[in-house]
Structure formats: structure tokens, C-alpha cells
Structure 1
Amino acid sequence: MTGTGLPLAGVKVLDLSTLLPGPLATLMLADAGADIVKLERPGRGDEMRSYEPKFGAASANYAVLNRGKRAYGVDFKDPVQRDRVLELAAEADVVVEQFRPGVADRLGLGYEAIAANNPRVVYCSITGYGESGPLAPRAGHDLNYLAESGLLGVVTDSAGRPSLPVSVLADISAGTYPAVVNILLALRQAERTGRGSHLQVSMAHNLQVLAYGYIATHQAGGAWPRPGAEQLTGGSPRYHIYPTSDGRHIACAALEQKFWDRLVDLVGLDEKFHDDAGQEQAVTVALSEIFAQQPAGYWRKLLGSEDVCTVVVATWDEAVRSGLVDTDAPERVSRPGAPDESFATLASPVDPSLRQVGGTLPYPALESLPDSSPWS
């Protein structure tokens, strides 16, 4: 599909956000054809430019999140430059900001100030703890939102300690994705009604979606999950992580009876443990002893062709070889002004039928904001 035929071709997005949630959201919009203008601090730019490893003047992290965008250094506190931002916002279909609540208003760049000259604007505010309430002004990062939402303490080790999450779950699943969904819905509404909207995306609050089962159980039965003791949090031998003899691990998710029956036959679990109901801890110990007798390669060969929902925890190299991690995507990101210096970029979650597949685009150098519209 060519650029002009993409779903968001012609949509102008003014991105005032930094780091991960907002920039990843606008990257997805860009993949679908939107034109992104990103405004950053003068001089240093987005904090993520300074991360390691570097790819040219900016970090590789920044490069993959901002491929194909344009970036300009702007001092939002300078009245003249702030007024130029308002002029840009008057042209935009979408504005994304990630300040703490009230900061954009104090800068004169809040929804009311922008909507006064652009009533169709879709204005998306991504915050840690929402727009109001006692936690709203607080600084936070992904780990804080997971901790205070209750999710981090659900899975614990034998000493009752929670573990660091495998990724920045709040930033992406509760920040980026809700922002993209709501922006697309609001654009559709603006098409139909001519009215824009102010979207509020609270990462801490949106984590409730990840806790759907715990909340349903509480609403129906009044109880909250016991750390490390529920079916999906370590209390069941059918959904557990077991060590192997060579220091690797087995991820068992044989929840359904047919998978469980086949698994226990394959590994030779004593028949008295086949019915795990009421003796979950003993069955977990018995399975731990079995898996600990052989290396990961043995278990991969035994279980690989079976429908038992039980697999070896892969290394990154193994995940690439299996095809589940794509390090050779057709889209590439290059250094500004150096198209031959590039690498395969982040595999896009946007369906190939809705984006332009292939091509090399640079990440943006930080430039001075031009006098004329960058969208001209």
C-alpha cells in the first residue's frame, strides 16, 4: 500500500510526549500513514536520545520509536515559541502530551487553549495516575504503577517477594495501546460530529484490564488473589515454572485436562499425583523433581511435538531462530543524513494491509522550528 492510500494519510499529529508511551503511540499512527511532528527540549531533546547504546547522535531506543518523524527543539516556557506551538496545534488533527496533570495548562498548551482555535482537535493526555486525585501530581515509572495497582504483588517467590516484570507493562499495555485505540475512536467521532475531545489515559488505572480475572473474582466472591497461591500466580502445578538440570527452565501451562493428562504421562509422573486437586503443592514438588533430572534439550525434544502447552524458556537467540522474534523486519531505521547506515527496526503491530511495508526512514535530528508550517 502506498503512503497516500494508508488509513491515516493526511492526519497531522503534534507529539509533545517523551520517552516511551506517547512516542510509541505516535509511531503506530505514523505506521498507518499519519504525519508526526515531535517537539522536544532545545539542545538535549527527548531524554531517550541520551540512552545507550547509541546509533549516531541518539540512542537506538530513540531511533526505533521515532522512525520517520520530524523533531524540533522548542522552549515551551518562552511565550514566542509557545505561540508558535499553538499555531501548529491549530493545524493538527491530534495532539499527544505526557506532562503531569496541570503542567500543559500552566504552559498555555492545555486542551482548552488549543481547542479554542481548533475545536476538532483530538487531544490525548497520557498520565501516570490520572488527571485528578491525591496521586495525580506524583512522579512515577512503570514499576511504580504496577506496584500501586496491586499487580506487582500477585506473583511472588517462595519468600513472598515479588519479581521485576518482564517488560514495561504499564507504559505499553496501559499507556500506548489505550492511547492509540482512543485516538482512533476520537478521530472517527470528529469525522462524524465535527467535535474533538480531550482523552485521558491513566496508566495506573488502565492496568485494571490486565487484572480482569482478579477483579471478576472479587466482584463475584469478595476475595482478592492470594500472592503466589492462585491458579495463574503459582498455586497450581499446571501453571508453573520448573528448573531443569542445566539451569534452564520449563514453562508449564497445561491447564486443560487433556493437556495435563498427556503431560503427566509423557514425563512419567507417579499416578498418585495425576489428580492434583487438593494436593497442588505436593504435585508441584514431584514435577519439580522430574524436570530437574534432565537438561532443557531433553525436554524440548520430548515435549516439542506434543500438545501439552509446556515449553522450554527460550533465550533470545533461540526465540530468533524460532521466528517468534524478528530481527530482520523489512522496515529499517537510518541515521539522519546517512541512509546507508541503518538497521531493521521494531516489528510493527499494525497489520501489513494497513501500513507501508518496507523502506528505510531516518530517526529525526533535532532541528530549529521553522517559521513556516512543517506540514506545508
Structure 2
Amino acid sequence: MSTAAPAERGPLGGVRVVELAGIGPGPFAAMLLADLGADVVRVDRPGGPGLGVDPAHDITNRNKRSVVVDLKSPDGAARVLDLAARADILIEGYRPGVAERLGVGPADCHARNPRLVYGRMTGWGQDGPLAERAGHDVSYIAVTGALGMIGRPGEPPAVPANLLGDYAGGSLYLVVGVLAALHHARATGTGQVVDAAIVDGTAHLSAMIHGMLSAGAWQDRRGANLLDGGCPYYGTYETADGGHMAVGALEEKFSAEFLRLLDLDDLQGARADLTRWPELRAAITARFRDRTRAEWTALFADSDACVAPVLSLREAPHHPHLAARGTFTDHGGITQPAPAPRFSATPTALRTGPALPGADTEAVARDWDISALTGDDRPTPAAD
């Protein structure tokens, strides 16, 4: 079912993926697979997703191809099953039971392709008391304890955009899961279902913290610990111009360098004395307010004090280190993160911009040898 592909596509060249269109973690997971070289065909629905940006700017659809299929039409399920029969991986993000009702659930797909890896992306998982309930990133990370760790004491928890739940706890665990299952399928000839729940992945991310909690090295409250802003030499500080600097001087040699550059050598002994942490924090806070963010950035630039400026999304691509590495790239007029990670033998690339709904129907029908795709499911042109 897989086809050969040149090495420059990336390490997943030749792997075929069907993505049943959704929002959030599913599209991002499929983008990562596409960035790694997989041939990802996104099955868009007529009218597009319930939430989303202009398709021409939806970076999560880069490096993919798109067809439009109405799964509620009489032949909709058959068209998806034709794709599944030729795929290595299928990803869907519906509520439990929806894919089955539409006729494209795991049993339907495995009847056509026993080797298929069927990836399911949800917030609550396929079972459990909340499995049928709606939710979003903030709901899922709330119940895992992760959200409760973030923010200042005495204030509501700070919402970390949707990076922690949707993408770290969701997308990345789905990708790890389907690639592990693909390895198994190629070794045994047998596919399987991967149940990737954001609550499971987010909870898993907190493994080290749970170990510290068990050992008595972590207090179960915000802003009181080494890594949550409670420590004065691990956190953020405001500068004279309203900017911020991030400090990560955990180890003794790094914190010594940090305090030396701040001209606070007389407070070196406060590092290991928790009773003096308020004194140390106050001194550091006052010192950072003496200079601008740019001035502090220049001062710490050639040190191992583990201090960095807090940049905005628009500023980040211009940081000298990120610019030198090409961490961000421009494609089709859109500045965006480049594919990651990097490979020595099978380099990845940003091959194409966001796939527009239905734009690749004929090409996919030809390449995957599915003539039935070229029917009446193409998107209707917008009226002038």
C-alpha cells in the first residue's frame, strides 16, 4: 500500500495517511506526519470545519493534499474506505461512536485493510464517564492537575494557550502512538487502534513532577516549587521598558554567574536558604527594573547564567540563534515554524503551503488509484 518516495521528502516518505478533517490536535498531528514526509490526504467536509482560519493561512494543513467527501452522502463512507484500503494510517478526531455511525470506524476500515493503524484523537478518550462530553484543551488539562500548577499563588491558574493539552498531551502522543503501531503492523501484518486521549497524554507529561511530589520535593500548590516560578532564580522578571527576562539559573554555578552579573554577589548565600528567597526575589526584581530588555539581553548574551529575553510571536523569528538555525521559515508569504526535528539522512522540507479543501482530488485519485473520488464532492465555488 505504501509507495516509494525520494529521501528528500523525509523519513516517512512513502507512508500514506488519511486524515478525517477536524480541528486542533488531529490536524496538527497530521501536519507533523506530513512534515516528516508522509503523503497525508485530508478528507475535508463540505463547508469546512466548525472552527478555523482562512484555509490559505491554516499552516496545520501544509505539506498535505485535500479531497472533499460528504460522509453523510450515500457513497461518502465508501470513498473514505477506498482511501483507508490504500493507507498505512488513518486519523480521526470525532467523539466516540461517531466514526462507527458514519461507517468509517475501525471495524469497517480493518475489514478493508487489516494492516491499517487507526488513530483516534479525543480529549477524554474512548471510554470513561466523560467520554461522550464536549470539552476543550483547558477542560482536559484542568482535571489532570497540570493547569493547577501554572500561575502565581493567590491568582487563578494561567492558561498556557492550547499548547500543553491539544498539542503536547494530544498531537504528540498520537504521533508517537501511530508510528509505534505502524512499526508493529509492518513487523506482524496486523494493524490496531490507537486511543490518544489528551487527558492521558497530559497526565503522562507530569510524570517527573509526580515523582518529586512523592519524594516530598514538590508542594501541591502553585508558585512554591523549583520549576513553577516559586524559586527566585527560575522565573520571569519585568524590565525597565515593560519587557520581561526569563531566568533559568537552577544549578549553583549558573546562579552564581547570574547573581554576579546582576551585581548581587552579596546574596549568593540566599540561594540555598528558603527563608531568604523573598529577600532574593525582591533584590532581583528591583535590579531588572533598572535596565531595558535589550540592555539585559546584551549583558547576559555571552554568559552561562541561563537568562533569555521573553519574545513575542512576531519577534521570535528574528532572534539571532533561531535565525541562524532557520527555526522559522517563510513560505507563500507566511512566516511559520520550520519542520522539526532534523534528520541527517532524510531531511524534511516545507514542500507545499496549506492544502485548500478539495484542491487535490484529481491528483489523489490518480496517485492512489481511486477513480471514485472524482465525483460530485468537489467544493462549490463561492459566489462573486
User: What TM-score do the two structures reach when normalised by structure 2?
Assistant: 0.84
Q: What letter is aligned with 2:297? A: R
Q: Structure 1 residues 3 and 294, CA, compared in 2 at 3 Å: closer, same or farther?
A: same
Q: What letter is aligned with 1:137? A: E
Task: State how 1:56-135 maps to structure 2 within 5 Å.
Answer: 58-60=55-57, 62=58, 64-135=59-130
Q: What letter is aligned with 1:17? A: A
- What SS does the corresponding residue of 1:366 show, helix, strand or coil? coil
Give the Å deviation of 1:202. 0.6
Query: Residues 28 and 350 of structure 1 are in contact (CA less than 8 Å); yes or no, is this contact kept in structure 2?
Result: no
Q: 1:299 maps to which residue?
A: 296
Give the Å deviation of 1:194. 0.6
Q: What letter is aligned with 1:89? A: A
Q: 2:382 maps to which residue?
A: none
Give the Å deviation of 1:325. 4.7
**Counterparts of 1:147 and 1:176, CA distance in 2:** 18
- What SS does the corresponding residue of 2:236 show, helix, strand or coil? strand
Unaligned runs of 5+ in 2: 370-384
- Establish whether residue 45 from structure 1 lines up as the match of residue 19 from structure 2: no
Partner deviation per Cα, 1:263-313 (whole Å, 9 max, x = no partner): 222212262563231221221112112222222233222222221112222
- What SS does the corresponding residue of 1:143 show, helix, strand or coil? helix
**Counterparts of 1:7 and 1:242, CA distance in 2:** 41
Query: Residues 93 and 122 of structure 2 are in contact (CA less than 8 Å); yes or no, is this contact kept in structure 1?
Result: yes
- What SS does the corresponding residue of 1:95 show, helix, strand or coil? strand
Query: Residues 240 and 291 of structure 2 are in contact (CA less than 8 Å); yes or no, is this contact kept in structure 1?
Result: yes
- Establish whether residue 354 from structure 1 lines up as the match of residue 346 from structure 2: yes
Q: 2:18 maps to which residue?
A: 14
Q: Structure 1 residues 324 and 179, CA, compared in 2 at 3 Å: closer, same or farther?
A: farther
Q: Structure 1 residues 361 and 228, CA, compared in 2 at 3 Å: closer, same or farther?
A: closer
Task: State how 1:1-376 maps to structure 2 within 5 Å.
Answer: 3-5=5-7, 6-42=10-46, 44-47=47-50, 50-51=52-53, 54=54, 58-60=55-57, 62=58, 64-221=59-216, 225-269=220-264, 271-272=266-267, 274-276=269-271, 277-278=273-274, 279-316=276-313, 318-325=315-322, 333-334=331-332, 342-343=333-334, 345-352=336-343, 353-357=345-349, 359-361=351-353, 363-366=355-358, 375-376=368-369
When structure 1 is superposed on structure 2, of 128-137 and 317-326 the one drifting more is: 317-326
Partner deviation per Cα, 1:328-353 (whole Å, 9 max, x = no partner): 7797655xxxxxxx545541014244
**Counterparts of 2:156 and 2:330, CA distance in 1:** 41
Partner deviation per Cα, 1:143-189 (whole Å, 9 max, x = no partner): 22222221112132253222121552211111221122222211111
**Counterparts of 2:171 and 2:177, CA distance in 1:** 10
Partner deviation per Cα, 1:183-219 (whole Å, 9 max, x = no partner): 2211111111110110010111101233122211233
Q: Structure 1 residues 3 and 344, CA, compared in 2 at 3 Å: closer, same or farther?
A: farther
Query: Residues 143 and 168 of structure 1 are in contact (CA less than 8 Å); yes or no, is this contact kept in structure 2?
Result: no
- What SS does the corresponding residue of 2:227 show, helix, strand or coil? coil
**Counterparts of 1:345 and 1:295, CA distance in 2:** 28
Q: Structure 1 residues 173 and 71, CA, compared in 2 at 3 Å: closer, same or farther?
A: same
Query: Residues 104 and 110 of structure 1 are in contact (CA less than 8 Å); yes or no, is this contact kept in structure 2?
Result: yes
Aligned residues: 359
Unaligned runs of 5+ in 1: 335-341
User: What TM-score do the two structures reach when normalised by structure 1?
Assistant: 0.85
Q: Structure 1 residues 254 and 91, CA, compared in 2 at 3 Å: closer, same or farther?
A: same
Give the Å deviation of 1:360. 4.5
Q: What letter is aligned with 1:363? A: A
Q: Structure 1 residues 223 and 329, CA, compared in 2 at 3 Å: closer, same or farther?
A: closer
When structure 1 is superposed on structure 2, of 126-135 and 163-172 the one drifting more is: 163-172
**Counterparts of 2:224 and 2:311, CA distance in 1:** 25
- What SS does the corresponding residue of 1:201 show, helix, strand or coil? strand
Give the Å deviation of 1:220. 3.7
- What SS does the corresponding residue of 1:116 show, helix, strand or coil? helix
Give the Å deviation of 1:71. 1.7
**Counterparts of 2:208 and 2:350, CA distance in 1:** 39
Q: Structure 1 residues 33 and 315, CA, compared in 2 at 3 Å: closer, same or farther?
A: closer
